[in-house]
A and B are shown apart, each in its own frame.
Chain A
Amino acid sequence: MPLQNANCPNCGAPVLFRWEQAVQTTCPYCKSILVRTDIGLEAVGKVADLPLESSPLQLGVEGVYRNTPFQVVGRILYEWEQGIWNEWHIVLNDQRNGWLSDAQLEYDVSFLAPSPSPIPPAADLKRGQRFQWPNAVYEVTSLTRAKYRGVEGDLPFTYWDKSEVLFADLRTVDGRFGTIDYTETPPLLFLGEASDFDSLKFHNLRTFEGWQL
């Protein structure tokens, strides 16, 4: 896939897009948040240093999801009372883009999906609540209040509010996974499945002192 190159309007460093359709990226040198406009790139702010974290994933990691190769092009780092988790933005070879969530090394792959039925407002959502959707019954297994802590790389949207929002994780009997994201109104729904580390066949992972893959 041909990648468009540009220079960072803040520091002049070359900026490499990993995903053609990226709306936003970050400068790998000065950490500016860059938004793509009709005329070029606009620096809209700066990312604070990302907190120390130890995901084996990083931008540029390649993997395979259900026989389709993908690349990690960006990420959002969230923070909640029990630590942090990463939503890695992945672009698949079939042009779809989705999210690989890594919460304490438990991996889920999901894609933005239209909601099969209206999703209740955050205040009405309860743990244990069920959604009878055409492909499965999803149950709310956790309610997590989190705020975004940082971004890196190519993302499909530009707006980032720092206030705390609710995320609800949904699970099914057959390993499907969903997240209701109350960042927007109406809330966004992501559907996918839990994925085993080894099944994702990663390459270019970070290395850890004293450990072999």
Chain B
Amino acid sequence: MSAMAAEPAVTAASLHCINCGGPIQLKGFAHTLTAICPSCGSILDTSTPLLRIVQAGQTRQQIHPSVPLGSRGKFDGHEWEVIGFQIRTMTADGVRYDWAEYVLFNPYRGFRYLTEYDGHWNVVRTESRLPVLQGRRARLDNVSFRLFQTGQAHTSYVMGEFPWRVQLDEQVYFSDYVSPPEILSAEQTANDSEITWSRGRYVPGKEIWKAFHLKGSPPPARGIYANQPSPSAHKLGSIWKMYGLLLVALAALALFVRIARPGTEVFRGSYSFNPRSKAEASFVTPPFSIQGRDENVKIEMATDLDNAWAYFDLALIKVDDGHAYLAGREVSYYHGHDSDGNWSEGKAHNSVRLASVPAGRYYLRVEPQMDNNANTPVMNYTVTVRRGVVIWSYFLFAVIFLSIPPLLTTWRRYSFERARWQESDYSGFPGVKATA
């Protein structure tokens, strides 16, 4: 209907304070039920055409809200104007806590609220759905919120306009449930005629500053707020997932390496050693060739030792220049039976790995040593030389090394949650003492 478009726009009503005569312009149009005179601070009931003084000239220190009255900001796709500001107060364990609440208005979309405590901001709107309460949990939209605190609060300071009748010092009961970055709050009037649920979302100060085009930077946030999202919260799941993927990749690599590189056997010889023999213990093997690029060589000693030990002095010697790679290994295997049952210690085989051995012709000098007494048996053993074996411990180091970032992130998350719940009366968090 074209006639509708001709209808004049609703204009903001201008009033004069009946206490001091100062001008008051109502930015909330007729929704405003309480206005505070900017000149004398009187709280006026604007619901009657004649106005009514609720409280004349608040005795007050001058308070400057960090988002000034009249500021307009855009968020959630719409523009909002700050029309009211109040300080609300609660006392817990003898300590007074003050926080700020801003009334935001849009003539079509109604009211939103902005709360601020110690540099922590929330954008809040009333919730038309009823959360389901189960013990210390409140569930809404399949999000489970945990009870964080309950208390009594009252309004201790007001500025601007409010779409309700402001009563200073009137107590309301509130319960806060959190599921960062959201907070769900129930507010009940003292006479219990009404319960109002509201849902808030944590917004970093700098976003508020940006939305309202404020100069400077927001006051730094101190401590951890009830529904402040943990900085690592969104990362934690993905970082462990990444770790899992890396482990799978590592396992695939290990499997591949195991199949592709079993370690080439370049020499094998079987010998006996009699410790009671007067003959020279050391001997050299026939020469053998080691090929390929510089990499490791593994010398394995497999013996038939049984409740005995032996020590092998080893030298891998290059034929053309006599360069020797020296190593020594003990092989010892003992077992028996006592009051605790069967026991065993050590193994009848051992090995030694030489890193980075160039290709060439080599021979091995072996010198076994054993106890030289009557009941030491003759040792039969096999020496095997392998080229390019897989060093499995590297994989283990990789697993440990890769686990550092997810473990650190998990620890940070834990510490953050612990600090959050230290402020709660309903902690239940391990290591945090509940005060209620």
Contacts and interface: CB of A to CB of B under 8 A. Distances in A.
Interface of A: 51-54, 56, 58, 60-61, 81-83, 104-106, 108, 127-128, 139, 141-144, 171-175, 177, 194, 197-198, 204-213
Interface string B97-115: 0000000001111110000
A209 B12 CA distance: 7
- Ordered nearest first, which 6 A-B pairs have the shortest CB separation? A105-B110, A194-B128, A54-B29, A54-B30, A208-B107, A207-B9
Given A58-B7, A60-B1, A104-B111, 9 more contacts: A52-B13, A54-B30, A54-B31, A83-B33, A141-B130, A198-B109, A204-B4, A206-B9, A207-B9
B340 interface: no
A194 B130 CA distance: 11
A interface majority secondary structure? loop
Which of under 10, 10 to 19, 20 to 34, or 35 or more describes the interface residues of B?
35 or more
A174 B107 contact: no
B4 A174 contact: no
Most A-side CB within 10 Å, residue of B79, B106, B165: B106
A54 B10 contact: yes
Contacts of A54: 10, 28-31, 107
A173 B143 CA distance: 12
Contacts of A173: 129-132, 140
Contact of B108 (A58, A81, A175, A205): A205
B109 A143 contact: no
Contacts of A207: 7, 9-10
A83 B3 CA distance: 29
Interface in B244-261: none
Contacts, number: 106
Contacts of B195: 127-128, 141-142
Contact of B4 (A60, A127, A172): A60
A20 B49 CA distance: 37
Nearest to B110: A105
Contacts of B79: 211-212
Interface of B: 1, 3-5, 7, 9-13, 28-31, 33, 47, 49, 79, 106-111, 126, 128-132, 140, 163-165, 192-196
A8 to B, nearest CB: 18
Contact of A82 (B5, B33, B140, B192): B33
A197 B31 CA distance: 17
B128 A175 contact: yes
30 contacts: A54-B31, A56-B108, A58-B4, A58-B7, A81-B165, A82-B165, A83-B164, A104-B111, A105-B109, A105-B110, A127-B195, A128-B192, A128-B195, A141-B130, A141-B194, A171-B130, A172-B129, A173-B129, A173-B131, A173-B140, A175-B129, A194-B128, A204-B1, A205-B108, A206-B7, A207-B10, A209-B9, A209-B11, A211-B106, A211-B107
